[in-house]
Every structure is written in C-alpha cells, then in structure tokens.
Amino acid sequence: MNRALSHSLIGLALLVLGACASTPTMRRQAHHIVEATAASELTCTAIDRCALASPYQLLAEQLVADSAASTAPHAVNLLDDGQTALALRIHLIRSAKVSIELQSYIFETDDVGQLTLHELLDAARRGVKVRVLLDQLSSIHNRAWLNYLARAHVNFQLRVYNPTFDKATTKPLEYVAGVICCFFQFNQRAHNKILLIDQRIGMVGGRNIADRYFDLDPTYNYRDRDILLVGREGRVMRASFDRFWEHPRARSLDSLRDVGSGLLDSGLALPQAPSLHYQQPELIERIQQRAADPAFIQQTFFEQRFTVAKLSYYSDPPRKRGHHQQPDKAERRALSGKIAELISSAENEVVMQTPYLVLSKPARRAFLALRQSHPDLRVIVSTNSLAATDTFPVYAISYKHRRLHLQKLGFELYEFKPYPGRSERALKPVKDIGLLGSARALTSTKSLPLMRDGMRRRLHSKSIVIDGATSLIGSHNFDPRSHSYNTENGVIVHDLAFAAALRNSILADIEPDQSWVVARKHDRGLLTSINQGIESVSEKIPFFDIWPWRYATSYELRPQCAPLRASDPKFYQCYVRVGDFPEVNLSTRAIYTRIITIFGGGLTPIL
C-alpha cells in the first residue's frame, strides 16, 4: 500500500477515535440525568405483577420444584413458524413475574422491533426487571428511540455490546476507521440470541428481532428456527447472560457519546416516547390477539411440547477473541467444541442445516476423519443457493469448495430455493439483461436479480441432528466466523422424539419443491479426470482459483420421478441439470461469483 495512503488511513482512524471518545465527566453527568429523570411509576402493585396466566409458568413451577438438579426434566417446543413464534414470545413476555432477559445480534425498529419494545416496557412498568443486551453494530440506530430508552423506566435497562468508538450508532466512515484501527475487537461480535423469562422459560435459536425473521417482511423472509425450553437450565442461561451483561464490553446507553450527548442536551426535560408506526397494523393486532388467547397458546404450543430428560445450554464466553485476559482455548470455543464432539460421535447419520457452508479447518478435519472411520455415514446438508443467500461473497467461498464437500466429505448437498415450487423457468431461456445491466444490479441492490418477481425467502436456521437421537438448535453457523470470532449459543437435546421432529423439519426443506440437489456432473471419462485434477490444484490457491469448469452443478427433479439420492444409478435419468446458479438472472452469471472466488479464498474467516 502507498505510504501516504497508509498514513492517511491511520490518521483517519485516530481522528475518528479521538472525536468519538466519551469523557468521564460526560458519562457521570449523563448517568445523573438518567437517575434523576427515569420513570418509576408502576401500573401494577400485585405480587404477581399482573402477569398474564400461562400454562408454561405453571409447568415451570412444577418442573423446577419437583426435580433434583441432576435429573431435572425439561419441556421443549420446536418453533418453526415465524408469526406464531412471535405470538408466543409476546405471550411469554406478558407472563413474566420477576425478570426478563433478552439478547440479540440484530434489533431493528420495524414492526417486530417496535412491538417487542412496547411489550418489554409494559412489563417494566408492571414491576418486572427487564434487561436487554444488543450487539451494537446491527441494533437500534434510531436516535430518538435510544435517547428515550436510556431513561424510559427504572426497571428497564439496555446495554450494547462492543460499541464502535463509544457510540451506539456507527456511520460508514467510523466503520472503516474501526476496521483500520482495531480490527480484531471490531470484528468480534455477540451473535447470541436469548429470551429468558423468570430464569426458567427460555428461547434460543437463529431469530433476531426484525420483521424478516418472523415472516412479516413484504420483500423477503428468513426460514428460521428456535427452541423453547422450560426448566432448570434457565438458570444456566441466566448465568451466561449475566456474564455478558457484566463484561466491560457491555456498555450502558448513558455511557456512550452519542446517547450521552443527547441526554446532556435535553437535561431534565423528559423526551417524548416515540410513537408506534406499524407498517402492517392488522397483522400486528392479530399477533397480539393470539398472544392473549389461551386456546391458541394451548393448542398451538403447549399440547405440542416434548418432555425430555437430558438437555444442556451452551454459550461462548463474552471475549471469545482478543489478546489479553483470554480464557483457555476450550472455553473460548465452548459451543464450537461441543459441536465438534457431536459430529465426531456420529455413527450412522448427520443432518445439518446452515445458511453458510464455509467449513473451518477443524470442521474439515473432523468430517474427513469421520468419513475415513465411517465410510457409509450419511451427511445431509441443507444450505442456501446463490439465489437465496443474503451474503453473495460468502456463498462464493462455499461454491469454491463444492468438490471437497461432495467428493471428499461425502455430503449430500441441497441448496434452498428463493421461492417454493419447481423452477420451470430455470429450464427455459430468458432474456439476458446484459453485462451493464448485471453490473448495475449488483451495485444497486443487496439481493441478486432473479428470473421472476415476488416475495423471496432465505435460509437462516442453524440446526444439527446426530443419528436421529441428539439435536442442536442455536445461533452457530457452520463457518469460521462462528468458530473463531463471534460468540454463539445453543441448546443440545438428547431425545429421540424431539430429534425426529427436528430431522423431519430439515428434511422437509430439502424436498424438490424447496431445494435443488447439488451433484457432480456427468462422468466424461478422461476429460473428467483431467478436469478434477486441475480443479483440485486451483481450489487450493487462495487468490488465483481461476479454473472455470467445476466438479458439480445444480439439478431439478423431473415431474414424473420420485426423489433420489445423487448416488443412485438412476439419478441422471430423473434429474435435469439447471446450471450452477438457477433462478439468478445475471449476464454470464458464473463470472460474478468467480470474481469473488478468485480473490476471496484468503479472506474466508473475515467474510
């Protein structure tokens, strides 16, 4: 890099760092304003805090009271549907009597975010202690909301994890400066997701707080999954949350420069609560009605619960990566270590669902060892296609290693479609939008242009089933970020019935109407061997993987056939090749993914 440019970038980082540092005096003054003006009035004086009656609260009391810690059973629910899962969340928040803890990586002030804040504040005004911990980089960038929440109520506290330059919001220039000046701290995010009610009813999984995680976004939604657990393990979840809450990187709003300066500007004058502006008020009203409907909660969730004898909650420690005061290596990667143990214990089958299939080096070694020791082991993987993914560069890294996944690791790979149904248009020629049109599409939108319009969907759930007996649901993606950088959490359940339900849910997502099959191309004798040899060398070079003829491609099932495994001799009779990137409408589609593949291989952990 040019020396002058290097000095300019460093100077920029120092300038932003200095400009954004909050002073002790400002923090003290802002804190005093919060203490003096935070609302304290209660809407309820009853012992139970006027909590909504819930069968889960009665069950929690029974499970916690009647069981020894070493043999405590738990009740669990599998939460696949977004809108009903949101209704259950609201129901549980309303049922809280003592405390609520919520941790999220993303928290937007859209319909779901506003509804969640409204319900949490109502709980605080009833007398429930509410604590919210959000990763700063992707949460609540609305200054009006932040200034209000800083002193909304004495029972409501909000902290942000790892704020950039002492601020609750990050501008593009500050983002660049953060990468330059303090990359490793800036790059380590709290990816955990928790909702915990009264230390005994908990929810863990992939869902952040935003419309698209609960099937409420009019443009695209995520296929996601949570697990609800009731029982003593809630105390473990509380201890983990406390560890994050008390960590130096978890900062109160009044200690941050932008929120603190807003408090100083307004002084003792109380800010007006931001008005609720729901984009879909009828839908929000329906969800609120369901949350208060005993019959709906009973039939949709409580009667569908599983009782399990063995269940464990795991979480990485707050400071997973850093240079000082590091916990030991095993603790730093607590959840990653448990996942490795689960995979290594497999005897017959691994069923895995992950949005991003970019294996870390330890994961590769684990799967290679497992393939060698158990050559007949089935590994079924559900992940995003290019048409469905929300991270185009990361998909390119996965695409780069298709031969490794299929040939060496023996994965049965299925890529999630952006729309349900058979992709007949992928089999028909469409008008090419041209090189210029493709370039404009890539620079003007986060989503790649597809061959048809309509609400699209993306896979976001993170789940594993081992040998039809052991299940994991959590926040952990199968990629190096989750392994080494981000903190993650999850729940491991040892129960045959629950594992069968989760396995069936994942397998439903790889049905022909839901996913394409990724399989090797037809064997062309010597040409195939030569191509694979060159490809195997090319894919090992981090920055110059330029070989254009790939080992595998995507296939669509013919209407007259039943689904087959890619290893079946009749596979090519029943499946038709639809190209590497079906449904994506780009000129010379492979070029754009290949560009990232060429230059992105060495950046896998960062991406």
pLDDT band at 543 (very low <50, low <70, confident <90, very high): very low
Residue with tokens 């002193």: 151
How far apart, in whole angstroms, are the C-alpha atoms of residue 187 and residue 201? 31
Cα Dmax for the chain = 81
Give the pLDDT confidence of 398-445 residue by residue, as tens digits.
888 888 899 999 999 999 999 998 766 445 544 544 444 544 444 444
Identify the band that residue 65 occupies on the pLDDT scale cut at 50, 70 and 90: confident
> What are the E-state strand segments in 298-404?
306-308, 310-315, 349-353, 378-384
Q: CATH assignment of 310-603, given 3.20.20.70, 3.40.720.10, 3.40.47.10, 3.30.870.10?
A: 3.30.870.10
**C-beta of residue 580 within 8 angstroms of C-beta of residue 574:** no
What gap in Å lies between CA 260 and CA 427, rounded to an integer?
Answer: 57
- How large is the average pLDDT for residues 506-534? 77
Residues 92-110 pLDDT 10s: 999 999 999 999 999 999 9
Worst-scoring range by mean pLDDT, 65-74, 220-229, 441-450? 441-450
Domain boundaries, the chain: 10-307, 310-603
In this predicted model, which residue has the larger pLDDT, 295 or 189? 295
* Contact present, 394 and 480 (Cβ < 8 Å): no
Across 47-61, 434-448, 559-573, least confident range: 434-448
Q: Which helix (H) or strand (E) holds 223?
A: strand 220-223
| Amino acid 260: pLDDT | 85
Model pLDDT, residue 1: 46
| Higher pLDDT, residue 230 or 341 | 230
How many C-beta atoms lie closer than 10 Å to residue 448's C-beta?
25
Say if residues 63 and 308 touch (Cβ distance below 8 Å): no
- Give dist(CA 573, CA 564) in Å, integer: 10
State the pLDDT confidence band at 585, using cuts at 50, 70 and 90. confident
Helix (H, G, I), strand (E, B) or coil at 586: coil
Stretch 161-166: mean pLDDT: 86
Sole residue written with tokens 């009833």:
126
State the DSSP string of 77-104: EEE--HHHHHHHHHHHHHH-SSEEEEEE
Cα distance between residue 376 and residue 395, in whole Å: 28
Which 3 state secondary structure label does DSSP give 351?
strand
The residue among 530 and 128 whose pLDDT is bigger is 128
- In the chain, pLDDT over 70 holds for what percent of residues? 79
Angle in degrees, 0-180, between the axes of helices 82-95 and 111-126, rounded to the nearest 10 = 10
In this prediction, residues 365-390 reach a mean pLDDT of 94
Give, rounded to a whole angstrom, the gap between the first and last alpha carbons of the chain. 21
Task: Name the one residue in this structure whose structure tokens are 């299940």.
Answer: 471
Please report which confidence band the pLDDT of residue 17 belongs to, taking 50, 70 and 90 as the band edges: very low
Residue 447 confidence (pLDDT) above 80? no
Query: For residues 517 and 1, which has the higher predicted lDDT (pLDDT)?
Result: 517
Q: What is the mean pLDDT of the chain?
A: 84
For residues 460 and 230, give the distance between their C-alpha atoms in angstroms, rounded to a whole number: 24
- Which structure tokens are listed for 554? 């995507």
| The two three-digit tokens of residue 83, written as one number | 């809108």
Burial of 444 (0-12, 13-18, 19+ CB in 10 A): exposed
| Residue 67 three-state SS | coil
- Angle (deg, nearest 10), helices 334-344 and 361-373: 20
Q: Does domain 10-307 have CATH number 3.40.630.10?
A: no
To the nearest whole percent, how much of the chain has pLDDT over 90? 58
pLDDT tens-digit series, residues 496-514: 999 999 999 999 999 999 9
Asked if domains 10-307 and 310-603 share a fold, the reply is yes
Please give the Cα distance from 398 to 383 (Å, whole number): 10
What is the pLDDT averaged over residues 82-94?
98
**In whole angstroms, what is the distance from residue 288 CA to residue 290 CA?**
5
pTM of the model: 0.88
**Residue 133's closest CA among 223, 242, 53, 5?**
242
Distance, CA of 492 to CA of 465 (rounded, Å): 10
